[in-house]
Amino acid sequence: MLKMIISGCNGAMGRTVARLAAADAGIEVVAGFDLSAVKTDSFPVYADPMEFGGQADVAVDFSNPSALEGLLRYCAAKKRPLVLCTTGHSAEQLSAIREVSVKIPVFRSGNMSVGINLTADLVRRACAFLGDGFDVEIVERHHRRKVDAPSGTALMLADAAKSALPYDAGYVFERQSVRQPRGKTEIGISSVRGGTIVGEHEVIFAGLDEVIEIKHTAYSRDVFAVGAVRAAKFLAAVKKPGMYDMSDLLNF
Ligand SMILES: NC(=O)C1=CN([C@@H]2O[C@H](COP(=O)(O)OP(=O)(O)OC[C@H]3O[C@@H](n4cnc5c(N)ncnc54)[C@H](OP(=O)(O)O)[C@@H]3O)[C@@H](O)[C@H]2O)C=CC1
Ligand SMILES: O=C(O)C1=N[C@H](C(=O)O)C[C@H](O)C1
């Protein structure tokens, strides 16, 4: 039985993971971490991770970058593998995550769905094939509650494009303040927020008189939660400290 902690357990994704975990005979959610430590029927919830003294095999985090410090402190002290799904971490936080991964296994992905990870692979291939003949632009759309922009997934897709382009691409997040034609080595990233859109990512390759679009649409949060549960099982079994991502789980 996999003993799981859910960080951000009261949120949209935390509740989705808890629902999937409850339906999985191989998982027991032993604790939740969240800002409001309201006890649920199924597991206790702690505002400070260090207050939880029980055993656990893995922690899955869908919360907020502000939760990171306490979560890393807890996971490092208790040697808990950590699946980090929260997006919007700063450069300093990303280096703190890498530091902790010397002590514990850390799985991090801005998008836990199988579909987006295939999309990233397709983007890499398209960039390698198209070279510098096409301009790359990314458009992401999310629900009105989302606080970080651009999305973690848009950055993942931009990194995938950058890794395969023949030039050193720079990311451009807004065009309003710049009055000049688009640069040859830019990857533009645009964010749309509204309603209840679960998550849409479109990578546009715009060339001379032709445009190619690779698009992924998530219709439910379950696609992310399923991936997070798979990652949790994988990470608890790995045991070896280090950084892991979906390429370790899927065969990309
Ligand atoms: N990698 C992936 O595949 C995916 C990643 N995400 C990411 O997961 C994160 C959560 O998304 P979502 O569930 O929609 O967001 P929600 O706002 O619905 O849930 C976040 C939860 O975390 C809580 N929280 C906020 N700050 C802290 C803190 N410092 N310590 C503990 N808990 C805290 C919130 O409490 P309160 O409401 O009181 O602020 C809330 O209950 C986001 O960063 C999002 O981008 C989302 C989907 C997929
Ligand atoms: O906040 C969300 O909802 C999502 N966040 C992730 C991101 O920032 O890319 C993944 C998914 O698109 C949903």
Domain boundaries, the chain: 2-108+221-249, 114-218
Band the pLDDT of 7: cuts 50, 70, 90. Answer: very high
Other CB atoms within a 10 A radius of the CB of residue 131 amount to 11
Q: Which residue has the tokens 């998550």?
A: 199
| Beta-strand pair 105-108/82-84 | parallel
CATH of domain 114-218: 3.30.360.10
Helix (H, G, I), strand (E, B) or coil at 32: strand
> Would the CB of 224 count as within 6 Å of ligand 1?
yes
Tally the C-alpha atoms within 13 A of residue 233's C-alpha that lie toward its C-beta: 13
Say if residues 110 and 216 touch (Cβ distance below 8 Å).
no
Tell me which of 64, 82, 157, 200 to substitute to probe ligand 1's pocket, judged by most ligand atoms within 8 Å of the beta carbon. Answer: 64
Proportion of the chain above pLDDT 70, given as a percent:
99
At the fourth CATH level, which superfamily is domain 2-108+221-249?
NAD(P)-binding Rossmann-like Domain (3.40.50.720)
Q: How confident is the model at residue 222 (pLDDT cuts 50, 70, 90)?
A: very high
pLDDT of residue 251: 72
Is 16 touching ligand 1 by the criterion CB < 6 Å? no
Q: Which ligand is nearest to the CA of 189?
A: 2
User: Would 2-108+221-249 and 114-218 be classified into the same CATH topology?
Assistant: no
Residue pointed to by tokens 């992924």: 216
- ipTM value: 0.99
Distance, CA of 178 to CA of 174 (rounded, Å): 8
- In this prediction, what percent of the chain has a pLDDT beyond 90? 93
Give the bridge partners for 241, in sequence order.
none
User: Which residues, other chains included, contact 251 with Cβ-Cβ below 8 Å and sequence gap of 6+?
Assistant: none
Give the full edge-to-edge strand order of the sheet including 2-7: 45-46, 27-33, 2-7, 58-61, 82-84, 105-108, 242-244
Provide the token pair at 223. Answer: 């696609």
